[in-house]
Amino acid sequence: MALSREQIAQRVAQELQDGFYVNLGIGIPTLVANYVPDNMEVMLQSENGLLGMGEFPTEETIDADMINAGKQTVTAIKGASIFSSAESFAMIRGGHVDLTVLGAFEVDVNGNIASWMIPNKLVKGMGGAMDLVAGADNIIVTMTHASKTGESKLLSNCSLPLTGKGCIKKVLTDLAWLEIEEGAFILRERAPGVSVEEIIEKTQGKLIVPDHVPEMVFA
């Protein structure tokens, strides 16, 4: 069965390491914060200028001057730092963030990503997404494998305007965990109960299927 939003977040959380600085995009990536293992220290970076983002406030501690990149009211953890937008993107662009997780409309076999613009629809902007994909070395893209009408989002060439070129190496969909290497998707893991055949059928770009493709394991 396809992974739920929570399971996608759980699988991403398995990639966290103790001492990681992590930037989580809006949507499913935000849920990853709920699955940080208890024995691990991870610091969340919010691109509006906060390193060490904490949980949501209470009605008593809510503060209009304390928000995250999704414009939600948040708190700062002990040991957090707050800085300007230029400093924030110096961290991002300078490759200081250990892991970036973000959503996408499409990715392709050359590591291109399209996530911000659908022609002939209202374009609201890229926000910080272009800086994030250009600056980070370790990016996980989370997305559904195919559209509601069954069209693959893992392509030989992105059809939408790009957010970044040649910058994606890891993709987690609701069906599979894939890596991108030398012009192909490599199928590393499949969602529990999802067949290799279904993944092949729903992947338009070149897909390499190793002899053994294990199912994802959830605690």
Partner 1 sequence: MAGFDKVVASYTEAMKGLEDGMTVLAGGFGLCGIPENLIAEIKKKGTKGLTVVSNNCGIDGFGLGILLEDKQIKKMVSSYVGENALFEKQLLNGELEVELTPQGTLAEKMRAGGAGIPAFYTATGVGTPVAEGKETKIFNGREYLMEEAIIGDFSIVKGWKADRYGNVVYRHTAQNFNPLVATAGKITVVEVEEIVEVGELDPTQIHTPGIYVDRVVLGTFEKRIEQRTVKPTK
Residues that bind partner 1 (CB under 8 A): 46-50, 55-59, 62-68, 70-74, 76, 82-86, 88-89, 92-93, 112, 117, 122-131, 134-135, 161-166
Q: How far is the CB of 20 from partner 1 (least distance, A)?
A: 21
Question: Would you say 10 or 115 has its CB closer to partner 1?
Answer: 115
**Backbone angles phi and psi of 85, in degrees to 5:** -65, -35
Neighbours of 50 (CB within 10 A): 23
Q: Is 197 one of the annotated active-site residues of the chain?
A: no
Q: How far is the CB of 63 from partner 1 (least distance, A)?
A: 7
d(CA 60, CA 54): 16
CA-based radius of gyration for the chain: 18
Q: Which residues pair with 155 in a beta bridge?
A: 108
Question: Would you say 9 or 74 has its CB closer to partner 1?
Answer: 74
Q: How far is the CB of 101 from partner 1 (least distance, A)?
A: 17
Question: Would you say 63 or 181 has its CB closer to partner 1?
Answer: 63
Contact 154, 112 (CB under 8 A): no
Q: How far is the CB of 71 from partner 1 (least distance, A)?
A: 4
Q: Give every CB contact of residue 80 below 8 A, 6+ residues apart in sequence.
A: 43, 50, 51, 52, 53, 54
Strand ranges across the sheet with 50-53: 76-82, 50-53, 42-46, 20-24, 99-103, 139-143, 170-173, 176-181, 184-190, 207-208
Question: Would you say 5 or 165 has its CB closer to partner 1?
Answer: 165
From 15, 41, 47, 189, the catalytic residue: 47
As annotated, the active-site residues are 47
